Amino acid sequence: MKFTCLSKGGGFHFPPCHILNVCGFRILFDCPLDLSALTIFSPVPIGYRDVVDEKDSDLDSDCVTWKRQKIGKPLDANDLICAVPWYKIVKYLHLWNVSFIDVVLISSPMGMLGLPFLTRMKGFSAKIYVTEVTARLGQLMMDDLVSMHMEFRQFYGPEGSTFPRWMEQEELDLQPSALREVVLGKDGAELGGWMPLYSAADVKDCLQKVQTLRYAEEVCYNGKLVIKAFSSGLEIGTCNWSINGPKRDIAFISSSIFVPAHAMSFDYHALQGKDIILYSDLSSLDTMEGVEDGYSFLTTDSFSTLSWEESAKALLNTSEHLEEREKLYYLCSCATDSLKASGSVLIPINRLGTFIQLLEQISASLESSSLKVPIYVISSVAEELLAYTNVIPEWLCKERQEKLFSGEPLFAHVKLIKDNKLHVLPAVHSPKLLTNWQEPCIVFCPHWCLRLGPVVHLLHRWSGDPNSLLVLESGQDVQRALLPFQPMEMKVLQCSFLSGIKLPKILPLLNVLQPKITLLPEDLRQKVRFTNVNPFSVFHYSENKTLIIPSLKDSSELEIATDLAFQFQWRNLKHENMNITRLKGELHVDHGKHWLHSGNKPSKLNSSKRRPLLHWGTPNLETLLSILSKMGINASVEQGVGVEGSEKACKVHVHDPKKALIEMGETGTVISAVDENLASLIFEAIDSILDGI
């Protein structure tokens, strides 16, 4: 088994990506897009003035020298690339031949955004598995992306050459180093990862190539791998994978949340007892950056010696859940403060779960503070998205499912829309918005790194208003993302949301799952420390290095049909306490197991005349002679004549009833007789003094 991490990703929106070789099959886990790279592009300018300025200065030769001076200095809005954006796929994926991938497992909608790039490639023929909801949400996200990208196309006109100007070496040399690094990567290898965006047709085609699954639905790939998706709790429909093969059972853990407030919770029980855990939840790396190191050591060490029961209990700890609620409360209070000061609130967010919860919280707090402020959701897919969340009760957490059983809508937005408090609109320029628009207001819209879609227009509108509030998910690229909107008078509230398993829970989780081997990212080596008492071995992986995982068993499981088993003719071995039998059947591989059936043809094993074909041991001459004489065969021994140089060989001559010769050596015996019957009798005699099968 081989495991290669192609990318560790970065945060919720850019999940990790790996390739696993198992059972002779190559499995790709997720195919995300690095959307944070979008921030190197300039958003579509709103006013005509901007356009003229930038276009002119771009062509000006003086500008080149001016730009050169800027290298090394902090970025400003003019450094951003004015062109139709390209999109960046996973770093090392383009180095692999996609036609050799057999299976693609998509764990989340975010992990699906790069998939159309793969499916449209020539030679790509892998089977793609994804949960039904992830496929739908992923499709909505991609449709949204494609439709917002249209705005760029309309502005810059159709793309002329296949290779855009900003990617040329001379152009890149002029770019500020920070920008250049995004384009090229640290080692310059990432330039090949840039792609022009797929089309709506590509997305449609991609979705047709996908096989959708329910949670815990079993699919069998090529007879050998039994694949199941189990809820991970991160989002509605996101999943972890269980892959059972004839030689080992594997669990793949993506970013997971134990007690989510909307999605079905992390089903870790289903991953118990697997041989190997591929731990791919790297969210703790992103959130740990600001936290002092001491914290991490303390927590993991204290858990490393926990018993199974204690570990199981530790997992049920819901502090993080409460923490998330607090965050939302705080967010709501900030929003109401702004609204009270007649500022508007802009919440660009691409997390469905957080978005739905915020919607519920904010509308409730508006209600309680008796603020009559409209809420707008602006996105090309918002209407469908909201409708969809209300028809998938099977994929939600227990509390939401209870709503189904009591006949209430699963989410509050159903009522909000009905009561005309929530307006769902496809775009900023839709007529319904123009007739409805009221400020102050609350607007939810897609994030897309503040480069695409309604957020650009609204930020331009409100960036100068000190009473307005922008709620942003924190990340490394926030500064760059806000660059085109500087100077920002608008208040910016950065917050991080729970995006996976927290560091202190990693060890208890592994204790509960009890794998034999665990694969952890190298970056967690220092943070999750194992004591010697851990019953499992740990391997650490890092980007673009292939780990070879030793095989656990030297044999495969095999199931023998009972009718075949009943035909066995057991032989006791002389010296050891062992029984052996020959067997013959038809071997099938199905559901990750080998099956042996008796097959269609009547088995030769059944015939009573069957004789051992393989012999071992040392024949005893005395015994042979006595057995022969019992059979009525008289023989005499001629000692000392070597057979093929062997010294211990001897010859036994038979004269009665007919002529025969037995040449007996250390490693073999030759029977030579005048007829079939006698030869066969002698064989039986020799067989009886040897072990054989």
Considering only residues 155-214, where is the footprint of another protein by CB under 8 A? 213-214
Stretch that binds another protein, among 349-357, 468-476, 541-549, 566-574 (CB under 8 A): 566-574
Site membership for another protein, residue 660 (CB under 8 A): yes
Chosen residue from 318, 479, 546, 688 binding another protein by CB under 8 A: 688
Tokens coding 466? 């000190």
Residues forming beta bridges with residue 34, ordered by sequence position: none
Nearer to another protein, 61 or 555 (CB): 555
Q: Which of 60, 168, 394, 622 binds another protein (CB under 8 A)?
A: 394
CA distance 203 to 33: 14
Question: Which of positions 583-622 make contact with another protein (CB under 8 A)?
Answer: 583-587, 589, 594-596, 599, 608, 611-619
Residue type, 255: S
CB of 49 to another protein, least distance (A): 40
Token look-up 């159309």 returns 116
- Whether the CB-CB separation of 164 and 82 falls below 8 Å is answered with no
Structure tokens at 47: 């006013």
Taking CB under 8 A as the binding criterion, the range among 64-72, 101-109, 176-184, 391-399 that sits at the site for another protein is: 391-399
Phi, psi of 438 (to 5 degrees): -140, 140
> 3-class DSSP state for residue 363?
helix
570 binds another protein (CB under 8 A): yes
How many binding residues for another protein (CB under 8 A)? 96
CA distance 231 to 108: 10
Shorter beta-carbon distance to another protein: residue 31 or 689: 689
- State the virtual CA torsion across 275, 309, 258, 364 in degrees, nearest 10: 170
Region 401-420 residues binding another protein, contact defined as CB under 8 A = 401, 404-405, 407-410
Answer for which of 367, 489, 644, 684 binds another protein (CB under 8 A) is: 684
In angstroms, what CA-CA distances link 350 with 15, 136, 509?
14, 15, 28
Binding to another protein, residues 118-137 (CB under 8 A): none
Q: Residue 46 or 690: which CB sits closer to another protein?
A: 690
Amino acid at 616: W
Give me the 539-558 binding string for another protein, x by CB under 8 A, dash otherwise. --------------xxxxxx
State whether the Cα torsion 127-130-132-136 is positive or negative: negative
Separation between Cα atoms, residue 414 and residue 436, nearest integer Å: 19
Instruction: Mention every residue, 6+ apart, whose C-beta is less than 8 A from residue 675.
Output: 658
| Residue 45 or 245 with smaller CB distance to another protein | 245
* Contact assessment for residue 272 and residue 299, using Cβ atoms and an 8 Å cutoff: no
Given the rule CB under 8 A, which of 280-288, 326-334, 399-407, 535-543 is the region that contacts another protein? Answer: 399-407
Q: CB of residue 22 vs another protein: minimum separation in angstroms?
A: 15
Q: Per-residue x/- marks for another protein, 617-656, CB under 8 A?
A: xxx-------x---x-------------------x-----
Using CB under 8 A, which residues numbered 365 to 384 contact another protein?
A: 383-384
Residue 96 DSSP label: S
* String of DSSP letters for 42-61: PPPPSSHHHHHHHHHHHH-H
Span interacting with another protein, options 48-56, 325-333, 436-444, 564-572, rule CB under 8 A:
564-572
Cβ atoms 8, 523 nearer than 8 A = yes
- Minimum CB distance to another protein smaller for 289 or for 676: 676
Which residue stretch of 345-353, 372-380, 433-441, 662-670 sits at the interface with another protein (rule: CB under 8 A)? 662-670
